[in-house]
Amino acid sequence: MIGHPVSHSLSPAVHNAAFRALGLDWVFVALDVPPGAGAGTVSVTGLVGLAGLSVTMPHKEAAATAVHRLSSTAVALAAVNTVVRRGEELVGENTDGAGFLDALRADEGFDPAGRRCLVVGAGGAARAVIRALGGAGAAEVVVVNRSRERAEVAAALAGPGGRVGVAAEAGEADLVVNATPLGMGGDRSLPVDPVHLGPGQLVVDLVYLPAITPLIDAARARGAAGVNGLGMLVHQAAHAFRLWTGEDPPLEVMSAAALGELARRT
C-alpha cells in the first residue's frame, strides 16, 4: 500500500489476516510515500516483484497516470485505488464504489435501485459512491458539497439521476451518505441537520473512527438506521484481494480483523 500518511490504515491488518486464513505466503505492507512520488512508485511495482498495490490519498490520481491500462470505473473516476500486475502490465482499478454497494446490499440489505439518495461530499470517495449509486439504478442521486463546481462534476457521474442539491433535501432521501471528513476523530460537526433524518432512512457515514460518529448517533436518535464506513472498507479490500490473488476473499476474517484493529486503537 502506498499513501501519506499510512500509519492509521486498517488495510495491513485486514489483508494479512486474509492471507493467513487462506494459507497464502503473501504479505501486505504500508509504505509512506510522500506527495509527488506516487506515480514513480507505482511504475516500479513490477520491477520490485510486487503482485499489486493498494493506493490511498494522496496518490489515487497519480496512480491512474502511471499504469498501462485502466478499468472503465478507474477511467470515469480518474483515480486508482488498486493496481494489479498482469504479466508485464499494470492494470488500474477502483474498488471503492463496488465495495460501497456490497456493504449496502450484503450488510444492510439495502438495494439502491429505484431509491432516492443524497451524498454529502464531492471528493474521491464521494465520486466513487455517486457513480456506483447511479450505476445501481438509484432513482435520484442528490449531491451536496461545499464547493458547487466539484458538486456538479460529481453529480454528472451518477448519470441522468444525478443533480446538485442542498442538505435540507435529506428529508426526502431513502439513503443519506456522508463522504466528507466531518465527524472524524473528535470533530463534532454534522454534514446534515438531524432534523431532516427519521425512521425508514439509512444513513451511512464513510467515516469509521470513531465507530459511532456524531452523524450516526444523531441519525439513530431520530429513528433512522446508521452505519459507519467499515463495511465499505472491508468490501473494497475484498475486491482488491480477489483481483490480486484470484481467490475468494474470506470476508468474515477480514471484517473481524478490521474491527479488532479499530478496537485496538480506541
- The Cβ of residue 111 has, within 10 Å, a number of other Cβ atoms equal to 13
Q: Is 156 in a helix, a strand, or coil?
A: helix
Size of the site for ligand NAP (CB under 6 A): 24
Question: What are phi and psi for residue 85, nearest 5 degrees?
Answer: -90, 120
Residue nearest to ligand NAP (CB): 123
On whether the CB atoms of residues 29 and 12 are closer than 8 A, the answer is yes
168 has catalytic annotation: no
Give whichever of 33 and 46 is closer to ligand NAP, judged by the CB atom: 33
- What do you get for the CA distance between the two ends of the chain, in Å? 23
Q: From start to end of 116-217, where are the E strands?
A: 116-120, 140-144, 162-164, 175-178, 202-205
Give whichever of 125 and 157 is closer to ligand NAP, judged by the CB atom: 125
191-210 binders of ligand NAP (CB under 6 A): 206-208
Q: Could you tell me the smallest distance in angstroms from the CB atom of residue 103 to ligand NAP?
A: 8
Instruction: Pick one of 12, 181, 212, 245: the residue that binds ligand NAP (CB under 6 A).
Output: 181
Instruction: Pick one of 91, 117, 182, 202: the residue that binds ligand NAP (CB under 6 A).
Output: 182
Catalytic residue among 60, 115, 116, 239: 60
Pairing of the two strands 52-54 and 82-86:
antiparallel
On whether the CB atoms of residues 216 and 203 are closer than 8 A, the answer is yes
Positions touching ligand NAP (CB under 6 A) are 57, 96, 121-126, 145-147, 150, 179-182, 184, 206-208, 229, 232-233, 236
